[in-house]
Chain A
Amino acid sequence: MESPFISHIMFTLGPVPISFAVVITWGIMLALVSVAWLSCRHFRTFPAGWQAAIELLIITIDGQIAEVIQHNSKRFLPLIGTLFIFIALANLMDLVPGLSAPTAVFETPAALAMIAYFSVHYAGVSSQGLWGYLKSYMKPSIIMLPFTLLSQITRTFSMMVRLFGNMMSGQFLIGILLVFVGLFVPIPLMALHVLISLLQAYIFAILATVFIAAAMADQS
């Protein structure tokens, strides 16, 4: 079995090597943008069919965010909603023959965790001001400063490792079973893997929401 830490380079764009996972994420982005653009062209006041499905999805995500971020939660709907839908689709790419989940290699979860990391700081600075946000790091007393700084790094790292580890271990497990016992035995595990994929997308999005809410907390 090959190492999960190696990513396959497909081609190089000038000095930048482009891996297989990056090409898949481009495909997902293209599909998401074109589906969103095509379905937003003819919106009606009384939704039916496809538009109702999309509105249901967006309203559900918005309700989940509004339960965590009490005020002005609409501001983070584009970020959190895109994170959730993108990660859910990327995790489910395992089911398409010939493709593999881009979140099962290290680079995609790392990029997503960096997005979450920077948006937490952006939310904190924009809601409390720079000085107020920096002061929130030494909130109970200044002794806590190293721990709060450390927790910023470790929780971003654990977000990345959680998504990567769950996706990669699912692929690994199915691969090992396929080698040892044959064709049809891994199917229940693949069903479980679908559940885990959607759950990890939910957890990533809800953790990003909780961290953003924590960074904005002192405003209320």
Chain B
Amino acid sequence: MDIEYISIIAAALTVSAGALGPALSEGYAVARAMDAIARQPEAAGPLARTLFVGLAMIETTAIYCLVVALLLLYANPFIT
């Protein structure tokens, strides 16, 4: 198999793995934040800010996977 085909398959696998993990963990984080807001509606402001910052941190792994996939597709160092 050529290195091009392997790169395409690897890019697809990277993106799918990078979508799966952060999706699960972001859903968990949002569910817990909803719990907390339902229990204490007056703390919704700080909770929402912390939630957004946390979601941005979780999302970083997905973005890293996306960048790795794009590097494989467009700037692959093994394809001359």
> Do the beta carbons of A202 and B59 come within 8 Å of each other?
no
User: Does A17 sit within 8 A of B, measured CB to CB?
Assistant: no
Q: Is A5 an interface residue (CB 8 A)?
A: yes
The CA-CA distance from A64 to B50 in the complex, in Å, is: 12
B56 to chain A, nearest CB (A): 5
Interface residues on chain B, size class: 10 to 19
**B56 neighbours in A (Cβ, 8 Å):** 162, 203, 207
Q: Does A82 contact B (CB under 8 A)?
A: no
If A161-B60, A162-B63 touch, whether A4 touches B53 (CB-CB below 8 Å) is no
- Asked, given contacts A206-B49, A207-B53, whether A4 binds B70 with beta carbons under 8 Å apart, the answer is yes
- B63 contacts A166, C-beta separation under 8 Å: yes
* Interface flag for B66 (CB, 8 Å): yes
Residues of A within 8 A of B43 (CB): none
Size category of the A interface is 10 to 19
Residues of A within 8 A of B60 (CB): 158, 161-162
B75 & A3 in contact (Cβ 8 Å cutoff): yes
Check: A152 CB closer than 8 A to any chain B CB. no
In the assembled complex, the Cα of A203 lies from the Cα of B51 at a distance in Å of 11
Any A CB within 8 A of the CB of B78:
no
Contact with B along A207-220 (1 / 0, CB 8 A): 10010000000000
Complex interface: chain A residues within 8 A of B66 (CB): 165, 169
Q: Mark A residues whose CB is within 8 Å of B.
A: 3-5, 64, 67-68, 158, 161-162, 164-166, 169, 199, 202-203, 206-207, 210
- 7 contacting pairs across A/B (C-beta < 8 A): A5-B74, A67-B49, A158-B60, A162-B56, A203-B53, A203-B56, A206-B53
